[in-house]
Structure 1
């Protein structure tokens, strides 16, 4: 048994030795295979290295060629620059300037005027809103919109109406040209055409037979005390045409209150146009013919259709918005349901479309404009209770013009990030106070008119505005002296 066990053990041990030998042989084979496989890799690396060296050489050659090409290009550019410099030197010595384009000339003028006004402290601090629309362009559109009303006045009173408008415009333009140097230190303020519109609107509010010397006086006062005394266009508190009209009524009260200046059968060219009554003779057709052309009222109120046409033109050109006229007309219509008013349709349209929408004297935001129009209508009703007739529309503008900037503050949009409801509540309280203030001021104004103290109010206005002008001029003189020293 023992011998058998030994033989079995020996066999097992012999097998293990054989297996270990086989494993060693297998390992040797693996090493050989790995070395065999590694040999071509080294050869490949050598081949790649040789190829890379050749490509690098080629790239260096290309770079050298490119550098030579660049040098040639640089030489050519330098030669061209030298030629240009020679040409410029020749131009300088020949004193022949290169003609500038219109855009460049315009740009240089704008820059010069900007720095000139900046030195004179006529411009506010930045930021500025840049736009291609100029004041002159807006004024041109307003003048174009007034042409239908001017034609209507010529149809009714012929050359007399045209003379009235021409004298008013000419005197306004000449006054601005003469006095703008003193008030504004600017000789080109007439260029914006605002004086032309002041003259036209003033003439539109007058009777057709107003004496021409009084018209000249009113236009001069409108420009001086309505615009220039505040520092020019955009800075005035009141509508200049209304100021001119008020000066005329104060200083020439007998002539302005006379009934003879409103109608003349001899000078009347047309008593109206019977267009709608030709189709149907009724009350409504007669009313429409009256809107088309009527000989009663001021020079600018003869044709309601002409004024509406001008207003539509301004709306299409985006020179005015609908907020003030529409809110005024709707409020006035509601007021007339309860109160009688002597305001003519043409005069109301002239005031609502052309005078109440004056940019410096009216609010800028849409809610503010609607509120402004509503207050215009309500104040008309309030003044009609006091029995004011002919002066009612001029007084309405004089009452509400000073409140335009306050309305802008009350109705300014809520700042982004703030609670809108809280801002609305604050603004509602301010709006109530503002409304009460406007009504109180209107009642005081009507009381001054009733007691006949309106001339004294105008004298006070002249005194205060003149003193403000003198003080501002003295400040400028002192500053200039300090800078000179």
Structure 2
């Protein structure tokens, strides 16, 4: 929707479907991955999800009521989706109090203080995760939260053995179940099926995943001589369920392709510069911050208006340079343990922005 040459609205739900129906589809797409986490580490990952959901719901009810004067926002289901997505990015043995803190911060600083559902600039689940990383750095980097042999249910689930012996069977078993990494990364196959379900239900479009994955894997081939280690499950979780968050992503088809491509580029630049664990979070949040100029560069032609192609191309080049430069600045801050100050600045800006908007009204 466009009212003038500079105003472009983010494409959150305007159709006949309610927000709850959209969120229900996302939850259905996530349930298989939640179930498979039980086969990996039993009740531990389910407990992480439970704590995240309870904390998000309590935070949503209290703070949406206080700050937005809305006491029924829990009914849209967005707090539950945010909590599950946050839990999917965490280690299976993350302490409950850290999970509760991150989940509450996700809904408060990732959504409510932006004005509520559909107005957030950044993906709320990833905002919550970065709060956890900054305020509980020792816990979030501890090896003990990633593995505990006493909780292991199955080391493998070889359900494709009926295909016979060989490399293809091993590959299929590995993409169906590999209990390593974050909670949401244990099954590449189920992540893909969940993404396909959302595509078929038209809850997401193909443009962002296509732009992201094609860019990332082309760059992976270009830099094949480098020993680049990444999680395919993590890439797919970020691609299908985080980058496609409607309020914080680009609006137009071409804008979405570019937006996805930039996330893939930033993720690869992070990996090439030895950002080992935060590369997907950084890439999505960073490009979230450029959505407004992306929407402007790729805004559709208005009837009766001529497009200055040279100006658009020039703006696109400058935009790409800006994204790359910001990526290297973020990498610098990461290596010198200064990202915490970005979060502190973010807190002040969001609170200040919310207070100012309240004064205007």
Indicate the TM-score class for this superposition, using the shorter chain for normalisation: over 0.9
* Counterparts of 2:329 and 2:290, CA distance in 1: 15
Matches within 5 A, 1:191-340: 191-277=75-161, 279-339=163-223, 340=227
* Counterparts of 2:57 and 2:63, CA distance in 1: 10
* Counterparts of 2:230 and 2:278, CA distance in 1: 10
**Residues 1:354 and 2:241 are matched in the alignment:** yes
Calculate the TM-score normalised by the size of structure 1. 0.69
- Structure 2: tracts of 5 or more residues without a match: 1-7
C-alpha displacement at 1:328, in angstroms? 1.2
Contact kept, 8 Å, 1:227 with 1:236, in 2: the verdict is: yes
- Tell me which protein shows more helix as a share of its residues: 1
**Residues 1:164 and 2:48 are matched in the alignment:** yes
Q: 1:437 maps to what in 2?
A: 322
- Higher Cα radius of gyration: 1
* Counterparts of 2:303 and 2:358, CA distance in 1: 41
C-alpha displacement at 1:342, in angstroms? 2.0
Q: Report the 3-state secondary structure (helix = DSSP H, G, I; strand = E; otherwise coil) of the residue aligned with 1:360.
A: coil
- Structure 1: tracts of 5 or more residues without a match: 1-123, 477-485
Q: 1:174 maps to what in 2?
A: 58
Matches within 5 A, 1:20-419: 131-277=15-161, 279-339=163-223, 340-419=227-306
C-alpha displacement at 1:130, in angstroms? 6.3
* Counterparts of 1:133 and 1:387, CA distance in 2: 43
C-alpha displacement at 1:279, in angstroms? 3.2
Q: 1:24 maps to what in 2?
A: none
Contact kept, 8 Å, 2:115 with 2:354, in 1: the verdict is: no
Deviations 1:59-94 (A, max 9, x none): xxxxxxxxxxxxxxxxxxxxxxxxxxxxxxxxxxxx
* Counterparts of 1:212 and 1:183, CA distance in 2: 26
Deviations 1:381-424 (A, max 9, x none): 111121101111111112100111221111111122334xx433
State the aligned residue count: 348
Q: 1:468 maps to what in 2?
A: 353
Tell me: higher relative CO, structure 1 or 2? Use CA pairs within 8 A at least 6 residues apart. 2
**Correspondent of 1:425 among 296, 307, 310:** 310
* Counterparts of 1:418 and 1:469, CA distance in 2: 36
Deviations 1:285-312 (A, max 9, x none): 3222111001101000100111111111
Q: Report the 3-state secondary structure (helix = DSSP H, G, I; strand = E; otherwise coil) of the residue aligned with 2:91.
A: coil
* Counterparts of 1:474 and 1:412, CA distance in 2: 32
Q: Report the 3-state secondary structure (helix = DSSP H, G, I; strand = E; otherwise coil) of the residue aligned with 1:361.
A: coil
Deviations 1:20-62 (A, max 9, x none): xxxxxxxxxxxxxxxxxxxxxxxxxxxxxxxxxxxxxxxxxxx
Deviations 1:112-145 (A, max 9, x none): xxxxxxxxxxxx99xxx96322211111111111
Segment of structure 1 superposing worse, 379-388 or 217-226: 379-388
Q: Report the 3-state secondary structure (helix = DSSP H, G, I; strand = E; otherwise coil) of the residue aligned with 2:216.
A: helix
* Counterparts of 1:144 and 1:296, CA distance in 2: 23
**Correspondent of 2:343 among 455, 458, 465:** 458
C-alpha displacement at 1:323, in angstroms? 0.8
Q: 2:333 maps to what in 1?
A: 448
Contact kept, 8 Å, 1:169 with 1:200, in 2: the verdict is: yes
C-alpha displacement at 1:281, in angstroms? 3.2
C-alpha displacement at 1:469, in angstroms? 2.4
C-alpha displacement at 1:463, in angstroms? 1.7
Segment of structure 1 superposing worse, 216-225 or 449-458: 449-458
- C-alpha spacing 1:130/1:334, structure 2 compared with 1 (3 Å): closer
Segment of structure 1 superposing worse, 275-284 or 138-147: 275-284
Deviations 1:262-299 (A, max 9, x none): 11111011112123355343334322211100110100
C-alpha displacement at 1:369, in angstroms? 0.7
* Counterparts of 1:163 and 1:450, CA distance in 2: 32
